[in-house]
Amino acid sequence: MTTARDIMHPGAQWIPAHETLDRAAQLMRQLDVGALPIADADERLCGILTDRDIVIGCVAMGHDPSKVTAADMAKGTPRWIDAGSDVDAVLQEMQGHQIRRLPVIENKRLVGMISEADLAHHLSDQQIAAWAERVYANG
């Protein structure tokens, strides 16, 4: 059985909720990623911050990214998957919530992220096509 751990990109890193968006952008550049899970004070997932969130939700709105925090951008209930979950559960979670990045958690700790690129490397063309159709479907 292929699990979330098998297809994830290991070594994902949190951005603490109190960190500012300019620091988040620097960390994204350093790690060469487009999204960071947001951790609360107890290192529990409280959201996901994307590069698009920073640009559209902060900069384009005229806000100062050195004054807006990751917590300010955290909205809704964050989605995640257990490292031992099978690939079908991963696909269901991503398709069901139309998300493109999924944090992987083990024993309440972040152990990796699953992105579109990770799926492309580990799934068949048919599985990828079905996933994309559901994730990118309108409404």
* CATH number of the domain within which 66 lies: 3.10.580.10
> How far is residue 62's CA from residue 57's CA, in Å, rounded to a whole number?
9
Residue 27's pLDDT is what?
Answer: 96
Mean pLDDT value of segment 91-116: 91
pLDDT at 138: 61
Instruction: Provide the residue range defining the domain that includes 110.
Output: 4-137
Contact residues for 106 (Cβ-Cβ < 8 A; gap 6+) = 5, 82, 83, 84
pTM equals 0.85
Query: Residues 14-70: pLDDT tens digits?
Result: 999 999 999 999 999 999 989 999 999 888 899 999 999 999 999 999 999 999 999
- Domains identified in the chain, total number: 1
Residue 137, pLDDT above cutoff 80: no
